[in-house]
Structure 1
Amino acid sequence: MKSSEIRSQFLEFFKSKQHKIVPSAPMVIKNDPTLMFTNAGMVPFKEYFLGNKDITEPRVADTQKCLRVSGKHNDLEEVGMDTYHHTMFEMLGNWSFGNYFKKEAIAWAWELLTEVYGIDKDILYVTIFEGDASENLERDSEAYDIWKQYIAEDRILNGNKADNFWEMGEQGPCGPCSEIHVDIRSAEEKAKVSGASLVNQDHPQVVEIWNLVFMQFNRKANGSLDKLPAQHVDTGMGFERLAMVLQEKQSNYDTDVFTPLIREVEAITNSTYGKDEKVDIAIRVISDHVRAVAFSIADGQLPSNTGAGYVIRRILRRAIRYGFTFLDTKEPFIYKLIETLSMQMGNSFPELKKEKTLITNVIKEEEASFLRTLDQGLVLLENIIQTANGKEISGAKAFELYDTFGFPIDLTSLILRERGYSLNEAEFETELQKQKDRSRAATKVATGDWVVLRDDAIEEFVGYDTLEGQVRITRYRKIESKKDGELYQLVFNLTPFYPEGGGQVGDKGYLEAPNGEVVYIIDTKKENNLIVHFAKNLPRRPEDIFKVVVDTKQRGRTAANHTATHLLHQALRNILGEHVAQKGSMVHSGNLRFDFSHFSKVNDEQLREVEDFVNGRIREGIALEERRNIPYQQAIDEGAIALFGEKYDDTVRAIKFGKSMELCGGTHVKNTSDVWHFIITSEGAVASGIRRIEAITGDAAKSYFEDRSKAYKEVQKLLNNTKDPASAIEKLQEDNSSLQKQLEELLKDKAKNIKGELKNEIEDLNGVNFLAKEVDLDAGGLKDLAFELGGEVENLFILFGSKVGGKALLTCYISKDLASEKDLNAGQIVRKLGKHIQGGGGGQPFFATAGGKNPDGVEKALLAAKEYIN
């Protein structure tokens, strides 16, 4: 029976018992501070059990996506090591909210398992709660009496409170439960040991498949139990384990829940499942973890550095690491499994199909990023291990890996444990604290006391309406920082200077004394609700009344760029979709930067659409509609966009240009035409699911066009003033391509000539045809030469070294039969020999390369290869 049939038969069965079939709730929990993920089938129904929500459907059945990787239920480290633990799994369940109870739950469970699914009752065991004197709880005789109508009494086992009394938490609904276990061992094994003795003993073939929870008590704050006025049923059956039983397999991973993914991993990584335990573990880890990560992303949780996002990133990185270490994968590949997963489970879980592109792109980006960290970090970690004194690794060296190269400390610990080493964690923590102290010291500012000139508690910002004014200095102080040296901070009674905030830089300008003295304001910030102006020096007479002037050009350019971010946000939501949300911005006078949520590269056509949209609004000449001090909720109700994570006062300022309306405290142009023109200069990723656009407007856009025009004329001149530079360049490219092909042919001829000479240099070492030689060819030429020799000479081991462009290259080829017979691995060998050229590399067991920055080490690597074979 296929897994899709198993799932549908379960739901159809309970539909026939008048249950409402409901879809799976999201695996990622948004509104429960006690949980990050749905870790059991009952989680979406907690409000019913707690009495916080009215019951509209007394009978419900579903298949619920669950994730157990954190908190009380954490199976992460077991996943892959055995054949029945998972991170993400499905829990089939039927629920009664004050409707039926033990009699029906037990009867229907038995009917479904033995009659519908056809499971032999002689391989089933059930458990009941044996009671607990300390809680004054009696044995669940009611369940026992019901069960003995269906199964032999010697197969009804007593279970203790830990196994057979289910509780939601320290308080709330709880009750006894009956577990159904299955014994799928061979007849010979059953004859030796009774299955009854293996129930709840973590035996891989004697496992629980269904738990029937009878909620009949309420746990009070003092620990006492009261009977619930309404009794509920909460059941959960492990879908993957059920499939194992019905498909007559000895492992969950041998069922069609996982075999399509396992076959795809085998094909992509050129590995085989079922021959080597380490490879098997790696494949199980990857096949399991990709499901957890894919479903999490589909439910809206992207990998990140905090909270639930960190858990998802950790799961994915565990899968990547196993592939890297045991399947020799050096390029992203896990993302390729999403197509198979979507085809396999997309009909039951349509979110997989809907978000397939998003899931694929996020995983691919995460893989590429972490593989770069792994590749570099593992080489460095290996060096640390090789030079270690004893079996404890220095925490200081592990910290250097973490701090300098971003290599995760938990991964370092894991690898060390696998290699039989330990980490000095106390030393690591010491180094971590030192780093934090250094960081604080680097940014430390020596601040003098305020000199108060006027007791003026109110500092009015007038910069929305004017760029100059008459002011008094109310207070000042001197500060010294390592970065800027000696500075003065000035506070005025009122100011037109905009302080840095909302992504917009602070204003610059000057103040002028009555005697003509000028003091330049180099920055403006907000500190403890004071607008603080930074100056290199203090006016000679700080008590004077000063004329202050904001740098008009900088303010104008900054205002144009800030206005452009609003139009850009509107354009992105219009063209890419309503999912786009601002995740950060930086507005300078020279350019703007805008970060937003989107899960794939914005292609050239879309970028042109975005540019056209913004420039269309600029050409329309839309006037600014500014509304100050309006109630926050009123602004939201009227359609204003508020930034997630931003703190707003009860009253806010709303900026509107046509249909674009946002809550914003920044400065803006009076009319979109003042932006002049908008040009996107770059688009790229800054994190998984977060893109960044950089752009210019106004004077910077004018300079951009002038520079492009100048460059175009220079290109024309280089192309003899042709009127069609594009065609001329295309012709040059064609000529260059032709010459490149000729060069490649010449190199191939050179390689053929070299081949004859090299065949004569092959020597027999311990039954291995051995050749180690420096050859003056590039990587492609060395590869072709190695494979040509390999096609003509049996039992061949080759190490070629070359020095190209001031860098070193090693190429290792091993005949496939030889690699297998002698247990040689080219990838492992080049990684070892790569130390001589101060580099690293890898590849397949029969062919691998390494690159390094020390050409002088090539000769040592060639000699080391000979010593290795000897």
Structure 2
Amino acid sequence: MKSQDIRNTFLNFFEEKKHSIVPSAPMVLKDDPTLMFVNSGMAPFKEFFLGNAQPKNNRLTDTQKCLRVSGKHNDLEEVGYDTYHHTLFEMLGNWSFGDYFKKEAIAWAWELLTEKFGIDKDLLYVTVFEGSDDADKLPMDQEAYDFWKGHISEDRILMGNKNDNFWEMGDQGPCGPCSEIHVDIRSAEEKAKVDGKTLINRDHPQVVEIWNLVFMQYNRKANKSLENLPDKHIDTGMGFERLCMVMQGVQSNYDTDVFTPIIREIETITDKEYGKNEKVDVAIRVISDHVRAVSFSIADGQLPSNTGAGYVIRRILRRAVRYGFTFLDKKEPFIYRLVEVLVTQMGQTFPELKVQRQLVENVIKEEEASFLRTLDQGLILLDRIIENSQTKEISGTKVFELKDTYGFPEDLTDLILRENGYTYNHGDFDKKLKEQQGRGKEASQLKSDDWTVLIEDEEQEFIGYDTLEAQVKIAKYRKVTSKKDGELYQLVFNMTPFYAEGGGQVGDKGYLENAQGDVVYIVDTKKENNIAVHFAKSLPKNVNETQKASVDVKQRYRTECNHTATHLLHQALRDILGIHVEQKGSAVHSKYLRFDFSHFSKLTVDELRDVEDFVNRRIYGKLPLQEKRNIPMQQAIDDGAMALFGEKYGDTVRAVRFGQSIELCGGTHVKNTGDIWHFKIVSEGAVASGIRRIEAITSDAVKEFYFENNRSYFEMRDLLNNAKEPVKALQSLQDENLTLKKQIDGLLKEKAKAVKGDLKNEITEVNGINFLAKKLDLDASGIKDVCFELGSQFDNLFLLFGAENDGKAILSCYISKELVASKGLNAGTIVRELGKHIQGGGGGQPFFATAGGKKPEGIEEALRFAQNYIK
């Protein structure tokens, strides 16, 4: 059975059981602070499990794209070395929200596997939670055990501990026991030697878990205690790739048709054969896995970057590049060429891959080329470290600097060192790495108390489209503490006029005021699992009383101007540049807006002017806001609204229209485009290959922009003696300055020549080295010229010159190349040490290096130190 048929069989089976098939959510999470990526099938449904929203149908089924490369669930380093771990994988799932429970979940799982898929019952084992003797004192899941007895012999029902058979969403939240279904696909000979039940959960490549049935019946509180959930839920997840391995009768996920087309293409491109060499095989598995993870992430809107989720994606791609570089001898970009195969294979199920194909290829190709340049640079630096090392063990700190500063991976450093008979101090490296990781964790670590619930089962209503003030009640609150922000309180209201950060728009600020006039400031509003959470510096007095909630009017107005301007900007770009332009991200603040979009080249001055004019004409046209709330998604699309890839939309949506601009949007907007006053682009540039970014301002920020420019203009005119044509006057000054600079440069060169003639006679021989250390009255360029001219006339030359320019100290060290080779001297190392005397630092090449510092009086001390060093 082909993979596409396996996927359809699963979904159709549960559709027959009255489940609604829902599409996969984007992998990048935007309103869940506990997760960076969707790492399990249940993640997109957390709001339903938490009771923050109600699904259209209490029974759902889907195949969900998942990524496990960070946090608790991190499979990255296993990928490629075994046959069943992946970064990106599909999780087939069926869900019940307060509907059916253990009996049906177990019966249907067994029916699907043994009857629909026809898997031999003798290949299967199941596990049941055995209970725990810890603080939870949980009983064995006898109920699940009894249901399983009706389907499988008791000798194949195994007890599982809390680590394997009790599933938790996180430190807090819904949780419960689970039953895993394992399959043993070993040969008959192997089964005769070792009983399959002894290999369950032992990381055996042919005895693997394929399905986990989670029975959510408890809620974990902040104090670690458990309480029963009012409604019980079913959350199942089956590894699609592992199921394909079983159904297609192969011994590895990589031997299924999920991966074989990609592997064949890698073989063609690299001229390497899979299955002949273990190191080559690992590299091919790594690349075939990683290209999927990176491609889906980019298609879902997450570009590689240096921070957050973008850094994770960049790290995955770079891991693939370095395996190709090291083991497949690929020194030029090639991974981007695999995207075509992936689109052919999976584009039907995941149409975002088809639509975003060109962007995905462009971004991957550019990232590959960039990292290959980094590898080349790293190899040069590593060669230099090896060349200058006095021992066969390289400093772990240097290896860490290669990784941290230059992005050169430590495993590649280790490989190259071992090939050259060297090693490095792993202890020092690990210490530096832990220090870096510890700083990040301390800053981001968040501790939270349990929610104190004041109002039960009341669904929060957002009223901020229509009013910025309201009488609200606090439904629940809790204290949270982080090293970054200190102590804050999170408040949830029964209804709120505060907009929670989302869709690129910043969260509202404002305040709460009670009847006695006590005020508590709201410093931010964020969305967490479909609920607006308000962050306050303190807890309001009399939390049970009604509070007046007021949004900061000025910030909201400025933010609305910028948000509406992004819609008009999007329309302008598509009209002027072409319909290939698509929004790839935005940030809407009160002070400015940022808009990322797909486009292949830098915008010309004329294009930027046309875009500004397009937007401003619609501002001056005073277009009214037309919105439709809570309409079916398809109706909005039929009306002409654009849905953005990477966004998660509900069954009903809000469509926002200004003239011909129609977009699906939950953000806040001005009532009329005339309120924006004016739109001004302040910058345009590249973010990644095929992605451009425009930053712009509106309203009060534009007024301030023009005010500052006007003030600068009159200040410039004053400096130019009120010249009637200040541009011409400034150009004349520049021309005059250039002429004078050339004259000065000529004079300095003549001065350097004169100095060089005097210095020749001052060079003395010390221990077979021609040596001179002296303070000069020259600039850095002049000193460098003197060094190299003297170097061309003297062998075995060591020069150290100091100078003072503009109150700062300069040291320049020149060492003849023959001295570098014969004596092991290194100018870069020497000036770094001498730089301490001038309270500075520096570096450079072994034969020439410079240092700068803020203590000119230390120059003489540095010169004396150099003399003693040579002696």
Q: Where on the TM-score scale, by shorter chain, does this alignment land: which range?
A: 0.5 to 0.7
Q: Does 1:341 align with 2:342?
A: yes
1:672-683 aligned at under 5 Å gives the runs none
For the structure 1 residues 54 and 256, does the alpha-carbon distance in structure 2 shift closer, same or farther, using more than 3 Å as the test?
Answer: same
- Structure 2 residue aligned with 1:610: 607
Match of 2:287 in 1: 286
Q: Secondary structure at the match of 2:85?
A: coil
Residue 103 of structure 2 contacts residue 147 of structure 2 at CA under 8 Å; is this kept in 1?
A: yes
Tell me the matched-pair count: 530
* Alignment partners' CA distance in 1, 2:56 and 2:614: 50
Partner of 1:4: 4
Change in Cα spacing, 1:684 to 1:615, as seen in structure 2 (3 Å) is: closer
* CA gap 1:96/1:416 in 2 versus in 1, 3 angstroms: farther
Amino acid in structure 2 at the alignment position of 1:185: R
Q: Secondary structure at the match of 2:234?
A: strand
Deviation at 1:97, TM superposition (A): 0.9
Consecutive unaligned residues of structure 2, counting only runs of 5 or more, are 437-565, 623-655, 660-667, 696-712, 714-723, 729-820, 822-871
Deviation of 1:304 (Å): 0.3
Offset at residue 424 of structure 1 (A): 6.0
**Quick one: which amino acid aligns to residue 322 of structure 2?**
R
Query: What SS does structure 1 have at the residue aligned with 2:250?
Result: coil
Contact 2:128 2:144 in 1 (8 A): yes
Q: CA deviation at 1:59?
A: 0.8
1:295 aligns with 2:296: yes
Q: Does 2:602 align with 1:598?
A: no
Q: 1:157 corresponds to which residue? A: 158
Q: Provide the C-alpha distance between the structure 1 equivalents of 2:402 and 2:382, rounded to a whole number of angstroms.
A: 8
User: Aligned partners of 1:618, 1:42: CA distance in 2, in Å?
Assistant: 42
Deviation at 1:228, TM superposition (A): 2.0
Match of 2:424 among 422, 425, 428: 422
Partners of 1:620 and 1:686 in 2: CA distance:
28
Would the alpha carbon gap of residues 620 and 256 (structure 1) be closer, same or farther in structure 2, given more than 3 Å must change? closer
- Partner letter of residue 579 of structure 1? Q
Which residue pairs with 2:235 in the alignment?
A: 234
What residue number does 1:575 align with? 576
On the 8 A contact 2:600/2:689 being kept in 1, the answer is no
CA contact (8 A) 1:41 1:236 kept: yes
Partner SS for 2:381? helix
1:806-849 per-residue CA deviation (whole Å, 9 max, x = no partner) reads xxxxxxxxxxxxxxxxxxxxxxxxxxxxx9xxxxxxxxxxxxxx
Match of 2:448 in 1: none
Q: CA deviation at 1:617?
A: 6.8
Q: 1:100 to 1:660 in 2, by over 3 A?
A: same
What is aligned with 1:812? Answer: none
Q: Post-superposition shift, 1:387? A: 5.8
The answer to whether the Cα contact below 8 Å between 1:396 and 1:428 also exists between their aligned partners in 2 is no
CA distance in 2, matches of 1:172, 1:165: 13
Contact 2:176 2:218 in 1 (8 A): yes
Equivalent in the alignment of 1:67: 67
Structure number, greater radius of gyration: 1
Letter of the 2:296 counterpart: F
Query: What corresponds to 1:204 in structure 2?
Result: 205
Deviation at 1:376, TM superposition (A): 2.5
What pairs up with 1:747-762 in 2 under 5 angstroms? none
Question: Separation in 2 of the partners of 1:335 and 1:199?
Answer: 38
Q: Secondary structure at 1:347's aligned position in 2?
A: coil
C-alpha displacement at 1:425, in angstroms?
Answer: 6.8
- 70-79 or 221-230, which deviates more: 221-230
Q: Is the 8 A contact 1:395 1:427 kept in 2?
A: yes
Q: CA deviation at 1:367?
A: 0.6
Partner secondary structure for residue 133 of structure 1: coil
Structure 2 match to 1:312: 313
CA separation of 1:141/1:283 partners in 2, compared to 1, >3 Å: closer, same or farther?
A: same
Say if 1:309 and 1:345 are closer, same or farther in 2 by CA, change over 3 A: same
Q: Please name the residue that 1:86 is paired with.
A: 86
CA deviations 1:429-480 (Å, max 9, x no partner) are 889999xxxxxxxxxxxxxxxxxxxxxxxxxxxxxxxxxxxxxxxxxxxxxx
* Match in the other structure for 1:195: 196
Tell me, yes or no, if structure 1 residue 32 matches structure 2 residue 32: yes
Letter in 1 for 2:74: N
Q: Which structure 2 residues correspond to residues 653-664 of structure 1 after superposition, within 5 A?
A: none
Q: Which amino acid aligns with 1:90?
A: E
Query: Which residue in 1 is equivalent to 2:276?
Result: 275
Per-residue deviation, residues 666-701 of structure 1 (Å, max 9, x unmatched): 9xxxxxxxxxxxxx9xx974534543799xxx999x
How far apart are residue 583 of structure 1 and its match? Answer: 8.4
Q: 1:125·1:155 contact (CA, 8 Å) conserved in 2? A: yes
Match of 1:613, as an amino acid? Answer: D
Structure 1 segment 331-730 matched on structure 2, within 5 A? 331-385=332-386, 388=389, 390=391, 392-395=393-396, 397-398=398-399, 401=402, 405=406, 407=408, 412=413, 421-423=423-425, 426=428, 571-576=572-577, 577=581, 579=583, 597-602=596-601, 610=607, 613=610, 685=686, 687-688=688-689, 690-691=691-692
Deviation (angstroms), 1:117: 0.5
Answer yes or no: is 1:246 the counterpart of 2:253. no
What residue number does 1:112 align with? 112
Sort the Cα spacing of 1:156 and 1:428 in 2 relative to 1 into closer, same or farther, 3 A.
Answer: closer
> Alpha-carbon deviation of 1:417?
8.4
Change (3 A) 1:320 1:15: same
TM-superposition CA deviations, 1:314-369 (whole Å, max 9, x none):
00000011001110111111111111111100110111111111111111111111
Q: Secondary structure at the match of 1:598?
A: strand
Instruction: Mark the CA change 1:622 to 1:376 in structure 2 (over 3 Å): closer, same or farther.
Output: same
Aligned 8 A contact 1:184 1:205 in 2: yes
Q: Return the TM-score normalized by structure 2.
A: 0.54
Q: Deviations over 1:199-223 (max 9, x none)?
A: 0001000000000111122223333
Letter in 2 for 1:108: W
Amino acid at match of 1:82: D
SS at structure 2 position matched to 1:263: helix
What does residue 50 of structure 1 align with? Answer: 50
CA contact (8 A) 2:619 2:676 kept: no
Inter-partner Cα distance in structure 2 for 1:28 and 1:54: 22
Distance 1:431 1:187 in 2: 47
Checking the alignment, whether the CA contact within 8 Å between 1:62 and 1:93 is kept in structure 2 is yes
Distance verdict in 2 for CA 1:385–1:112, change over 3 Å: farther
Contact persistence 2:177–2:215 (CA under 8 A): yes
Quote how far apart the aligned CAs of 1:597 are. Answer: 2.4
Partner of 1:121: 121
SS at match of 1:4: helix
Mapped contact 1:416–1:423 kept (Cα < 8 A) = no
In structure 1, the gaps of 5 or more residues are 435-564, 585-593, 626-636, 641-649, 667-679, 704-834, 836-870
Judge conservation of contact 1:571–1:610 (CA < 8 Å) in 2: no
CA distance in 2, matches of 1:22, 1:657: 37
Distance change (3 Å), C-alpha of 1:433 and 1:27: closer
Counterpart code for 1:393:
I
Displacement of 1:132 in angstroms is 1.1
- Aligned residue runs from structure 1 range 855-866, under 5 A: none
Aligned equivalents of 1:621 and 1:103: distance in 2? Answer: 60
Whole-Å separation in 2 of the counterparts to 1:40 and 1:615:
44
- Distance in 2 between residues matched to 1:344 and 1:428, nearest whole Å: 41
**Structure 1 residue 174 displacement after superposition:** 1.4
TM-score w.r.t. length of structure 1: 0.54
SS, match of residue 296 in structure 2: helix
Query: Whole-Å Cα distance in 1 between the matches of residues 16 and 567 of structure 2?
Result: 55
Q: Label 1:582 to 1:125 Cα distance change in 2 as closer, same or farther (>3 A).
A: closer
SS at match of 2:275: coil
> What amino acid is the match of 1:610?
E
| 2:173 counterpart residue number | 172
Q: SS of the residue aligned with 2:583?
A: coil
Please give the root-mean-square deviation of Cα atoms over the aligned residues, in Å: 4.6
Contact 2:128/2:178 (<8 A) preserved: yes
Greater relative CO, 1 or 2 (CA 8 Å, sep 6+) = 2
Deviations 1:128-152 (A, max 9, x none): 1111122222211211111121111
**Other structure's SS at 1:204 match:** coil
Relative to 1, partners in 2 of residues 1:127 and 1:381: Cα closer, same or farther, differing over 3 Å? Answer: same
